[in-house]
Amino acid sequence: MKPRVAIIGKGRVGGALREGLERAGYEVRAAGKEPQLVREAAEWGGIIVLVVPYGAIDDVLRSIGDAVNGKPLIDVTNALTSDMELALGFSTSGAEELQKKAPAAKVVKASNTTFAQHMSTGHVKGTAISLFAAGDDQGAKEQVLAMGRDIGFDPVDAGPLRNARLLEPLASLNIQLAFSVKMGTQIGFKLVH
């Protein structure tokens, strides 16, 4: 049976993931900034997806409280400064810092290397792109990989959570290619394997 998915953040990524997951048959509940609704969604969900700005993580964790304990917590955020530079690296990552703040959660870094436009299908120009998932709890990671496959991605087990140190810069490369190199956002990473 598919787990219930609570999405925290109702922006571009939150909306796209909701669309993709619902199409794939998942029950989804999304919450925005209201602490009570965030808490209720987190209590309801078997998996919690974090899709808020990096700077909002502490607020969200306060609202979620112990409702995240023992559950997969998918970190899609990118730890970026306001001028879109990496805020952390290379001796830690946003995901590892998140795990320290929520030690009883099973943090999995995933989907952060994909533009929001492609998150509802996992495809760019007809090709399934990679959904990289890094995490220390294998069971939680398997659930995230299955969700990615159900949406349409080609899921890739990217190893332990410390590899989020590599996935977060990969997301920065994605942003640089799209906006500085001016390739646009109709791009995505595909691991040939």
Ligand X SMILES: NC(=O)c1ccc[n+]([C@@H]2O[C@H](COP(=O)([O-])OP(=O)(O)OC[C@H]3O[C@@H](n4cnc5c(N)ncnc54)[C@H](OP(=O)(O)O)[C@@H]3O)[C@@H](O)[C@H]2O)c1
Q: Which stretch binds ligand X (CB under 6 A): 40-48, 54-62, 128-136, 160-168?
A: 54-62
Q: Which stretch binds ligand X (CB under 6 A): 7-15, 95-103, 143-151, 162-170?
A: 7-15
Give the pairing of strands 106-110 and 5-8: unpaired
CA quadruple 111, 115, 116, 122: dihedral sign: negative
Binding-site string for ligand X from residue 98 to residue 117, where x marks contact by CB under 6 A and - marks none: --------------x-xxx-
Residue nearest to ligand X (CB): 11
- What H or E segment, with its residue span, contains residue 172? helix 164-175
Site for ligand X in 165-184 (CB under 6 A): 171
Q: Is 12 in the site for ligand X (CB under 6 A)?
A: yes
Number of H-type helices and E-type strands within the chain = 6, 9
CA quadruple 6, 10, 64, 87: dihedral sign: positive
Q: Which stretch binds ligand X (CB under 6 A): 5-13, 85-93, 132-140, 143-151?
A: 5-13
Task: Give me the residues paired with residue 56 across strands.
Answer: none
How many residues touch ligand X under the rule CB under 6 A: the total is: 26
Residue type, 142: E
* Peptide bond connecting 115 to the previous residue in cis, omega within 30 degrees of 0: no
Q: Is 52 in the site for ligand X (CB under 6 A)?
A: yes
Binding-site string for ligand X from residue 64 to residue 83, where x marks contact by CB under 6 A and - marks none: ------------xxx-x---
Task: Give me the residues paired with residue 110 across strands.
Answer: 133
Which structure tokens are listed for 28? 């989804």
Q: Is 45 in the site for ligand X (CB under 6 A)?
A: no
Binding site for ligand X (CB under 6 A): 8-14, 32-33, 38, 51-54, 56, 59-60, 76-78, 80, 112, 114-116, 171
